[in-house]
Structure 1
Amino acid sequence: MKYIVCEKPGRFKLREKSKPQKVEGQAILGIKKIGICGTDLHAYKGKQAFFTYPRVLGHELAAEVIEIEENEQNIKAGDKVIVMPYISCGQCIACKNGKTNCCTELKVLGVHTDGGMQEQISVPINLLIPANKLTYAEMAITEPLAIGAHAIRRAQILPNEYIVVVGCGPIGIGIMKFAQIEGAKVIAMDVDCGRLKYAKDKIDIDYSVLAGDAAVDIITEITNGEMATAVFDATGNKEALEKGLNYMANGGRYILVGLSKGKIEFEHPTIHAKEATIMCSRNATLEDFEYVIDILKLGKFPVDSFITHNVSFDEMIHHFDSWLEPTNGVIKATVNF
């Protein structure tokens, strides 16, 4: 079978290997569609934390079951499934407290271990989520949306509060949509006018602000001088991360969703004076996946406009570099098998 491996930063290779063999407790899946996420782009550029090469990328997976043993979810061969790509130990303090998303031994498909950029894959049955009522497109975007849903749940968003979401990529857009559903007033921020326009036109956010020197003044005006009670960073950019506190109200929450590879610094008098709550939001849990699936079933997310680029598996290598260019207007790229 065919698979694509990222051998080192900037280089993919299309190769062939044997199909996976059935192992007890695991299912063999045929991959149908894969979403390309920021982690994949950063890994290709050599800027992804916790990453080693060579690696088969791909963790936003829409699949069909080829072979599976009897299981508690009654999933059968031929069923459509989403793969929750976080392999947790089930024994550590985080897992015992229901925080499998930050397991001390966590391995993420396509990051710490090989992912789904291959025709077939064998994965633990407990990672499978039934999705027969979703399209492959909806299935392939469930994981990134679940990350946004998890961030909103972490922040405990309230109706009518002002929030700022820095970064209008796929994760940021998910955060905005789920914040809207909770009744928040959303202020989107980005350096890219095209992405701000998408957030305004397709997500129907309340306000858009171009990142820069004037951003603080604009948010001050929007919020009548009070600033945002919750600020989300969905960029992972060091400069953006360090500026995010400037948009936050006294007593507010700052939720770090994007992952930076290096150190970030905050002025202690600033965070102390605001009694800031600074929290990280990592990955997602089954509860978040199930929430997103319900939202997608209800048609509350603009899937068709969200997926801006789509190519076949055989064409992926030739198109990947273009997805790194902001001028190409990529929101979410997907790959079909």
Structure 2
Amino acid sequence: MKSVVINKPGELVLQQRDIPQPAAGEVRIKIRSASICGSDVHIWRGHNPFARYPRVIGHEFFGVIDAVGAGADSRRIGERVAVDPVVSCGHCYPCSVGRPNVCASLQVIGVHRDGGFSEYACAPAENAYLLPAAIPDEVASLVEPFTIAANITAFLKPTTRDVALVYGAGPMGLTVVQVLKGVYDVSRVIVVDRIPQRLALARASGADLTLDNGTTPLAELLNGEQPTLIVDAACHPSILPEAVALASPAARIGLLGFSGDPCTVTQQSLTSKEISLFTSRLNSKRFPAVIDWMARGIIAPAKLVTHSLPLAQIEEAMTIFEQDPQRCCKVILTVG
């Protein structure tokens, strides 16, 4: 089989490998498509602190179960499935309180173990979620990125009364916009970015107002409006202190992703407004919810897709994703 392998930072190859055999409790998926995430590029460039090399990358993928390991249900062969990349132990403290995404021995498919930019991949049977026919192949790999938005919004508990501000109109920010509007019916969603084309995608995804803070400070653009819910989907160290300053009293702020660089936030700025701060990593069993939203048309993943290329053109696809944010949002890799 052909697999995309990062042998070491900067070295990406399309490699011929043996087809894997599913271990006990696992299923093997014949992959139909996968989609590129920023973290895949970070592994390629050596900027992901969790990656281990060599690695078959890819954690957003879907396909058809074609084999099962011992103890897995053979009746599942032939199922169309999306794969949750979060592999947890099930018994540590985080797992016991419903937070397997921060398991003490967490492994992520495509980061700690081989992933889905390949013709075949194996995963625990419980991580392979059946897809209804209402979700077409063309967008089925996008279940996973929407689980990131599902996770942070589950913490933030949006309401129809909220005025939401989303920093960043990249793929993660856009999934948040769609979930805020489609699932929670938030009355007003504002998106800030510095790329006009991305702001256009935000409007297409349901944003009520888009702001370009490339030359004008965001505080000036907001003209005194105080968001009650803020999601940082850009994760620059300067954003959190600004978000705290702009937020309404009693606001909730959610952080998606992380930067290794420090930022400075005073206790006074948080406690004086009694701001609630939430962080989110990956997803904690959000696949069923997202599959339901997608099947019912509450979210529209196709609005994020700008490019589709075959797996053989992986370096071109990764380069477009990395270097052309004006034209590129989500890139789908067709496999089988």
Question: TM-score normalised by the shorter chain: which range applies?
Answer: over 0.9
What letter corresponds to residue 89 of structure 1 in structure 2?
A: C
Q: Tell me, what secondary structure is at the counterpart of 2:161?
A: coil
* Residues 20-44 of structure 1: per-residue CA shift (max 9 Å, x gap): 1232211111111111011112222
| Aligned-pair CA distance for 1:236 | 2.2
Give the CA deviation at 1:82.
0.7
> Separation in 1 of the partners of 2:136 and 2:287?
15
Mapped contact 1:166–1:232 kept (Cα < 8 A):
yes
- 1:134-145 to 2 correspondence within 5 Å? 134-145=135-146
* CA apart distance, 1:73: 7.6
Q: Say which is worse superposed, 116-125 or 260-269, in terms of deviation.
A: 260-269
What is the identity, as a one-letter code, of the residue corresponding to 2:128?
A: L
**Residues 166, 113 of structure 1: alpha-carbon distance in 2 compared, 3 angstrom cutoff:** same
SS in 2 for 1:250: coil
Q: Is the 8 A contact 1:322 1:328 kept in 2?
A: no
- Structure 1 residues 49 and 243: alpha-carbon distance in aligned structure 2, compared to 1, 3 A threshold: farther
SS at match of 1:205: coil
Identify if the C-alpha distance between structure 1 residues 22 and 281 changes in structure 2 by more than 3 Å, giving closer, same or farther: closer
Whether the aligned pair in 2 keeps the contact of 1:40 and 1:58 (CA below 8 Å) is yes
Residue ranges of structure 2 left out of the alignment (5+ in a row): none
2:218 counterpart of 1:219: no
Shift of 1:17: 1.6
Partner of 1:243: 242
- Written as runs of structure 1 = structure 2, the 5 A alignment for 1:130-209 is 130-133=130-133, 134-181=135-182, 182-184=184-186, 185-200=188-203, 202-209=204-211
1:152 aligned partner, one-letter code: T
**1:300 shift after superposition:** 2.8
Deviation at 1:280, TM superposition (A): 0.2
Q: How far 1:54 moved relative to its partner?
A: 2.3
2:48 is the counterpart of 1:45: no
Aligned mates of 1:113, 1:146 — CA distance in 2: 20
Q: Secondary structure at the match of 2:191?
A: strand
After TM superposition, which residue ranges in structure 1, 4 or more long, deviate above 4 angstroms?
69-75
Distance in 1 of aligned mates of 2:220 and 2:74: 55
Asked whether the 8 Å contact 1:75–1:130 carries over to 2, the reply is no
- Look up the equivalent residue of 1:208 and give its one-letter code: T
Give the TM-score taking structure 1 as reference length.
Answer: 0.92
**How far 1:241 sits from its partner (Å)?**
3.6
Are the aligned partners of 1:138 and 1:296 in contact in 2 as well (CA < 8 Å)?
A: no
Give the Cα separation in 1 of the matches to 2:122 and 2:325: 37
- Asked if 1:289 corresponds to 2:287, the answer is yes
SS of equivalent residue, structure 1 residue 228: coil
1:315 aligned partner, one-letter code: Q
**Can you list the C-alpha shifts for 1:45-80, whole angstroms capped at 9, x where unaligned?**
322232233221100011110112687888521110
Letter in 2 for 1:293: I
Cα distance in 1 for partners of 2:72, 2:58 equals 26
Q: Distance in 2 between matches of 1:208 and 1:129?
A: 35
Q: Is the 8 A contact 2:25 2:70 kept in 1?
A: no
CA displacement 1:257-283 (0-9 Å, x = unmatched): 122133332133222222221110111
TM-score, reference length from structure 2: 0.92
Classify 1:67/1:74 alpha carbon distance in 2 versus 1 (closer, same or farther; 3 Å): closer
Q: Which residue type is aligned with residue 145 of structure 1?
A: F
Return closer, same or farther for 1:197/1:4 CA change in 2, 3 Å cut-off: same
- Higher alpha-carbon deviation: 151-160 or 71-80: 71-80
Kindly provide the amino acid, as one letter, of the partner of residue 33 in structure 1: S
Once structures 1 and 2 are overlaid, which stretch shifts more, 256-265 or 304-313? 256-265
Residue among 308, 311, 319 paired with 2:309 = 311
Question: 5 Å matches for 1:251-266?
Answer: 251-266=250-265
Deviation of 1:205 after TM superposition, in Å, equals: 1.1
Sequence identity of aligned pairs in percent? 25
CA RMSD of aligned residues (A): 1.9
Task: Find the aligned partners of 1:141 and 1:247 in 2 and give their Cα distance.
Answer: 32
